[in-house]
Amino acid sequence: MSSNTSNLTCVVIGASHAGVNFAFALRGQGWEGRIMMFDSDPEFPYHRPPLSKKYLTIASQEDTQHDVLFPKENYETDNIILSLGKNVTNINRKTKSIFLSDGSVQRYDKLILATGARAFIPPIKGIENATNIFSIRNAQDAIDIKNAIKDSLRKRVVIIGGGYIGLETAASLKKIGAEVTVLEREERVLSRVTAPEMSVFFTELHSQNNVSILVNKNVVSINSLHAGSEVICDDNTSFKADILIIGVGVKVNTELAEQAGLEIDNGIKVDASGKTSDDDIYSIGDCTYHFNPSYRRFIRLESVQNAVDQAKVAAAAVCGKAATYDTIPWFWSDQYDVKLQMVGLSQGYTETIKRIEPDKEKCMSVWYFKDDKLLAVDAVNNAKAYVLGTRFIQNKQKIDKSKLADVSIPIKPTSFL
Amino acid sequence: MAKITFVTSDDIKTTVEATTGNIMELAVQNKIKGIDGNCGGVCSCATCHVHVQPEDWSKIGEPSELEKDMLEFDENVSEYSRLSCQIKVSDAIDGIVLKVAN
C-alpha cells in the first residue's frame, strides 16, 4: 500500500460481478478503510449467467445458495458493508458524496461505478400495455418468468430477439415444457456476434429441439388480448403469446456518470486502470467503454470475464499500484447439450475457417481471421479448440490456414504452425 | 465432512472443512489464491485448475471428457490435473491435498 488508507472510504455503486469482485480485491490489495456497496437489487449478490440457464429450469423452491458470488461470512470477515435495495440518485463530485432515494447521503474518497446495464425495451407499439412481458437481467426476472410459465395453461412463449440471452432462454424454457418461438429481426440469429456458420448451427440445434426460430421478423406492434398478447410483425404475420420475453440487447446505465459530468462514449469512458475522467472515480464492468490493447480499439463488453478482470485491475489502481487491463475477452453459452465457448473479438474479420471434428458429435469450431491474424475462435463442444485458440491469440502465433482447414489433422498445440 | 488442504503456488497451505458444494466454491470462499471460478462452476473457464496428489487420485475419480479437453492443452497441465469446480465435496475425499495450478 503506497499510503495510509485507514481513514478513507471507498464507495461502490453496483453489487454484481464487477462490484463484488472489486470490493474483495480491494481488501486483498491492502485497503484498510471503509468499503461500502450499494445496489438497487435487494437480492444477496449472485452469479448472473445462470439466470437464463439453470435458474429457469430448477424448481422455484430449490436452494440456490451456491450461486451467491461470495457467502455472507466473507463480507463480514472483510468488513464490506452491503446496502441492498438502495437506489443511488446522484453524485456530487465537489463534495464527494452520493445521494440515495431514501434521503441519505454518503461521502466517498474513492467512488466505483459498477452500474452495469439494463434490458433495452424497444419502442414497439402497445408494448407498454402488454401483460406477462419480461426481460432477463436479475434474479427476480427469472422467478417471475418461471411463475408465469407455471401458471400458464398453454405456455406459449414468444421471445423477441435471437441473441445469446434469447437463445439460452428458449432452450431453458423448452426444457420446462414451454412452446417457444424466437422472432429475430435480422436475417440470421446471433448476427452481430458470430459468422453465418454459427447462426446456421444454432438455428438447426433449436429446430431439432422443436423451438421455432423465425428470422426477418420485425415486430411492429403488440396487441393485448384478454389473456396474453398477439405479436404482429411488419410482414403481417402474427403470433399468439401467453408469455413474452424481450432479449434485444441492453441500455448501459450511464445516467449517474452523465449527471456527474464524467466522459461518456458508448459507456463510461475509462483508462487502462479503470479510471474515469475524474481521478477519484473508477468504473468497471458492463458499463465501461475501455481500450483493449490486443485489438487496439475501444470496446464495451458484457461478460463476467470483463467484470472480474477489470475489477481486479481497478482495485490495484485504487491502492496506488500500477495496473493495466489487457485480457483477451472470453465468453460462454450453454444451450441444450451444447457448450459454446468463445475467445477473442471477431469484429472486422475477413475470413473464417470452419472445422467439424470427424470423431465427435456436434463438435465444431469457427476460426476468425483478419488476413493472417487470428482474431477469435468460437468452439462448439470443443474445449480443445477454445483452449488452443486462446493460446494462439495470446501468443500472436501465425497459423497455417490450410492445415487448420484439414480436419484429418487433429487439434494440437503444434499441428497448425 | 471433509478436510481439504490447498497449497498455493507460493507454497501457502490452508486446510478447510466442508460438507457440501464443490471444491472451487470452497476455495473461493476461503480466498485461496489462484482459484477464481469465474464461470461459476460450469466447466467453461479453467480458472480453478488444481493438481491432485497421486495417492489421492483414486479418491476423486476421473474427469469428464469436457474437463479433460479443457485441461489437455493448459500450460500447467499434469497427469493429475482437475478442474476443482467438478470435484464434489464428500467424505470420500477427506484429507486430500490439492496444489493450485495457477
Distance from CA of B36 to the nearest CA of A (A): 9
The secondary structure of A121-153 as a DSSP string is: ----BTGGG-SSEE--SSHHHHHHHHHHHHH-S
Tell me, yes or no, if B25 comes closer than 8 A to chain A by beta carbon.
yes
CB B88 within 8 Å of CB B39: no
Residue ranges with strand state E in A285-350 = 288-292, 297-299, 330-335, 338-344
Contact B44 A308 (CB under 8 A): no
Q: What is the pLDDT of residues A154-164, one digit of tens each?
A: 999 999 999 99
For residue A343, what are the CA distances in angstroms to A136, A365, B95?
24, 11, 37
Q: What value does the mean pLDDT take over residues A84-100?
A: 98
Instruction: State whether B31 and A391 contact (CB < 8 Å).
Output: no
**Cβ(B49)–Cβ(B102) below 8 Å:** yes
Angle between helix A196-208 and helix A164-175 axes, rounded to 10 deg: 10
Q: What is the pLDDT of residues A11-32, one digit of tens each?
A: 999 999 999 999 999 999 999 9
Phi, psi (degrees; rounded to nearest 5) at A52: -90, 0
For residue A339, the chain B residue with the least C-alpha distance is B44
C-alpha to C-alpha distance for A263 and A149, rounded to whole angstroms: 43
Q: What are the C-alpha distances in Å from B34 to residues A409, B10, B38, B98?
A: 34, 10, 11, 12
Confidence bin at A67 (pLDDT 50/70/90): confident
Residue A107 has pLDDT above 60, yes or no: yes
What stretches of A197-261 adopt beta strand conformation (E)?
Answer: 212-214, 219-224, 229-233, 238-241, 243-246, 250-252
CA-based end-to-end distance of chain B: 27
List pLDDT tens digits, range A234-269: 999 999 999 999 999 999 999 999 999 999 999 999
Contact check, Cβ <8 Å, A304/B44: no
Chain B hits for A308, Cβ within 8 Å: 36, 38
pTM tops 0.85? yes
C-alpha A164/C-alpha A86 separation (Å) is 30
d(CA B77, CA A143): 40
Task: Give B86 to chain A, closest Cα distance, Å.
Answer: 14
Q: Is residue A2 predicted with pLDDT exceeding 60? A: no
Angle at the Cα of A169 from the Cα atoms of A15 and A67, rounded to 5 degrees: 35
The phi, psi pair for B85, rounded to 5°, reads -70, -15
- pLDDT score at A62: 57
Please state the φ and ψ torsions of residue B7, each to the nearest 5 degrees: -120, 115
- Report the pLDDT value the prediction gives residue A66, as an integer from 0 to 100: 55
Residue among A363, A374, A369 at smallest CA distance from A397: A374
pLDDT at residue A63, rounded to an integer: 53
What does the DSSP 8-state code read for residue A264? B
**Sequence-distant (≥ 6) Cβ neighbours of residue B91 within 8 angstroms:** B1, B2
Q: pLDDT digits over A109-124, tens only? A: 999 999 999 999 999 9
Is a pLDDT exceeding 60 seen at residue A61? no
Give the three-class secondary structure for A25.
helix
Cβ distance B66 to A339 less than 8 Å, yes or no, reads: yes
Cβ atoms < 10 Å from Cβ of A402: 10
Closest Cα in chain B, distance from residue A93 (Å): 33
Say yes or no to pLDDT of A360 above 70: yes
How large is the average pLDDT for residues A291-315? 97
Taking the C-alpha atoms of residue B47 and residue A246, their distance in angstroms, rounded to an integer, is: 32
User: How far A196 CA sits from the closest chain B CA (Å)?
Assistant: 23
Chain A neighbors of B43, CB-CB under 8 A: 339
- How many Cβ pairs closer than 8 A exist between chain A and B? 56
Please provide the distance, in angstroms rounded to a whole number, between the alpha carbons at the two ends of chain A.
44
Q: Please, what is the average pLDDT of chain A?
A: 96
Task: Retrieve residue A304's grid coordinates.
Answer: 463476467
| Higher-confidence position of A171 and A67 | A171
CB A42 within 8 A of CB A84: yes
Specify the pLDDT at position A1.
47
- The answer to whether the Cβ–Cβ distance between A50 and B38 falls below 8 Å is no
Which pLDDT tens digit goes with each residue over A370-394? 999 999 999 999 999 999 999 999 9
- Do A58 and A344 contact (CB within 8 A), yes or no? no
Query: CA B23, A21, A38: angle at the middle one, nearest 5?
Result: 130
Q: B36–A384: do the CB atoms touch at under 8 Å?
A: no
Mutate to test the interface with B, among A387, A391, A392, A397 (most CBs of B within 10 A): A387
Spans of chain B, pLDDT less than 70? none
Considering only CA atoms, which of A19, A70, A78, A62 is closest in space to residue A44?
A70
Share of chain A above pLDDT 90, in %: 95
Q: Where does A8-104 show beta strands of DSSP type E? A: 9-13, 34-39, 80-84, 88-92, 97-100
Q: How far apart are CA A127 and CA A124, in angstroms?
A: 5
CA distances from A33 to A26, A192, A345, A355, A384 (A): 10, 43, 38, 53, 44
Q: Which helix (H) or strand (E) holds A403?
A: helix A401-405
Q: Residue A332: which of B31, B41, B44 has the nearest Cβ?
A: B44
Give the chain A residue nearest B21 (alpha carbons).
Answer: A66
CB proximity list for A145: less than 8 A, separation 6 or greater: A56, A134, A136, A169, A173, A243, A245
Q: What single DSSP character describes residue A363?
A: -
